Structure 1
Amino acid sequence: MLEIKNLVKRYGKGAPVLKDLNLLVQGEQLMSIIGSSGAGKSTLLRCVNRLVEPTEGSITLNGTDITKLAAKDLRRARRRIGMVFQGFNLVDRLSVMENVQSGRLGYISTWAAITRRYPAADIERAFELMERVGIAQYADKRADELSGGERQRVGVVRALMQRPEILLADEPTASLDPKTSEQIMTLLRDLARELNLPVIINIHNVTEAKEFSDRIVGMRYGRIIFDDKPAALDAAQMDEIYAGTPSEDRQEIGAVA
């Protein structure tokens, strides 16, 4: 269970990016966070694993308050939080298997990582996950030889190699074509259910959010103004979430009945 209480994030002396935000996430659900640029979606996601430092409030994952951890304990806690990035964040010159095994760096010795002597159990687990997402045949291929969809699948497997208690995905389909985007969203939804894993996605495409999510959270100016099932998101609430958004920025949002 992830519980966020009274979360505030302020950069310098400016207005807060996140304003007294409260959120509870539990169970095998895929939750999408929507909102216009600047709403605080990415900041919220990155506060959860402290890639961004919260200014105030608490973020508790299964009993551990992430915001109170010092460096060593924070590194351990981050092993429990998988992250999938918009830009994939792969090492292009390394093979798919080597990129996937980087998800185990918090668990193996420095010597094993440097010499790439991965434990047999980790290799077996990697092949199982790669087979599950359809990239096992690329295990020895360099990451820069893959398509965007294949690279994102590598990112998903790398995150799952951590055996995370929660999976965060920051715009995981933004760099992909529509067909591949649907495939990645289907994969994330199915994995949430198969692994009993909460998945939180920051996403611009509301049509995809409505189709693949169990829950949608709408943000505006650092606050949550909508939190419900996709079927409850209607045109009036969309107007409230995206009020004042330039029309050219809304083209990717999608239609809402």
Structure 2
Amino acid sequence: MLKITSLVKRYGAGDPVLKDLDLEVPGEEVVSVIGSSGAGKSTLLRCINRLVEPTSGKIFLNGTDFTSLGKRELRVGRRRIGMVFQSFNLVDRLTVMENVQSGRLGYISTWAALSRRYPKEDIRRAYELMERVGIAHYANKRADELSGGERQRVGVIRALMQQPEILLADEPTASLDPKTSEQIMTLLRDLARELKLPVIINIHNVNEAKEFSDRIVGMRYGRIIFDDLPDALTKDAMHEIYAGVPHEDRQMEGAAA
């Protein structure tokens, strides 16, 4: 379980980007975080894995206080948090297998990584996961030869190779066409069930959030102002989350952000 209490993130002397935020996410649950640009969605995800340092507050993952970890402990702790990025973050000149194996860098020696001598068990696991998402036949292809949807599948498998206890996805469908976006969201939802893995998705597309999530968290100005089932996301709730943002702009955000 992820438990966040009184989380604050401030840059410089300005207003906090996150304001005294509380959130709990149990296992197997897909939680979509929605809100207009600048609401604090990406900052929230980056605070969880401490790509951004929280100003104050606590972040617990299965009982471990991630905000108290030192540098060495944090390097080990980050193996427990998988991250899927909007821009895929693949190394184009490397093969799919090599990109997937980068998810194991926290577990193998530097020599093994540089020489690409991956443990047999890691190779077997990689093929299993790639087969699960339909990209095993691309194992030896360079990443820059793949489509956007295929590249994002590689990103998902790379994160799962960490054997994470939670999966964070920062706008994972923003660079994809509508059909491929639905496929990726379906994949994330199904993997959460199969692996008993909590998944938090920062997403602009409200329709996708409602269709593929167990729960929706709505943010505005660094605060959570909605936290409920997708069916509870009424027009009034949408207005509160997106007050001042025209409806058509919300849909454009979902297609392009």
Instruction: State TM-score, norm by structure 2.
Output: 0.97
Matched, 1:175 2:175: yes
Give a deviation string over 1:89-147, Cα, whole Å, max 9, x none: 00000000000000000000011000000000000000000000110000000000000
- 1:116 alignment partner in structure 2: 116
Q: 2:136 aligned with 1:136, yes or no?
A: yes
Cα distance between partner residues in 2 of 1:44 and 1:251:
22
Cα deviation, residue 244, structure 1:
1.4
RMSD, aligned CA: 0.9
Please give the alpha-carbon distance, in whole angstroms, between the structure 1 residues aligned to 2:251 and 2:73.
43
Please state how far the C-alpha of 1:213 moved relative to its aligned partner: 0.2
What's the counterpart of residue 8 of structure 1? 8
Question: What letter corresponds to residue 65 of structure 1 in structure 2?
Answer: D
2:100 maps to what in 1? 100
Structure 1 residue 165 corresponds to structure 2 residue 152: no
One-letter code of the match for 1:163? Q
Identity of paired residues, percent? Answer: 81
Question: Whole-Å Cα distance in 2 between the matches of residues 97 and 77 of structure 1?
Answer: 24
SS at match of 1:103: helix
How much has 1:249 moved relative to structure 2? 2.8
Aligned counterpart, 1:222: 222
User: What is the CA distance between 1:245 and its match in structure 2?
Assistant: 1.9
Whether 1:210 and 2:210 are equivalent positions in the alignment is yes
Q: Secondary structure at the match of 1:79?
A: helix
Tell me whether 1:70 sits opposite 2:70 in the alignment: yes
Matched, 1:80 2:80: yes
Q: Is the 8 A contact 1:207 1:253 kept in 2?
A: no
Question: Paired residue for 2:33?
Answer: 33
Retained in 2: the 8 A contact 1:97–1:140?
A: yes
Structure 2 residue identity aligned to 1:251: Q
Q: Secondary structure at the match of 2:252?
A: coil
CA contact (8 A) 1:206 1:253 kept: no
Is contact 2:126–2:157 with CA below 8 Å preserved after alignment? Answer: yes
TM-score (norm 1): 0.97
Does residue 89 (structure 1) correspond to residue 119 (structure 2)? The answer is no
Letter in 1 for 2:190: D
Per-residue deviation, 1:248? 5.6
Q: After TM superposition, give the deviation of residue 158 of structure 1 in Å.
A: 0.1
Q: Which runs of 5+ in 2 are unaligned?
A: none
Paired residues in the alignment total: 254
CA distance in 2, matches of 1:251, 1:151: 24
Counterpart-to-counterpart distance in 2, 1:189 and 1:246: 29
Shift of 1:250: 2.0
Deviations along 1:50-75, one digit per CA (max 9) or x if unpaired, are 00100000000011111111100000
SS in 2 for 1:155: helix
Moved over 6 A (4+): none
Counterpart for residue 21 of structure 1: 21
In 1, are the aligned partners of 2:205 and 2:250 still within 8 Å (CA)?
A: no
Q: Distance in 2 between matches of 1:235 and 1:75?
A: 43
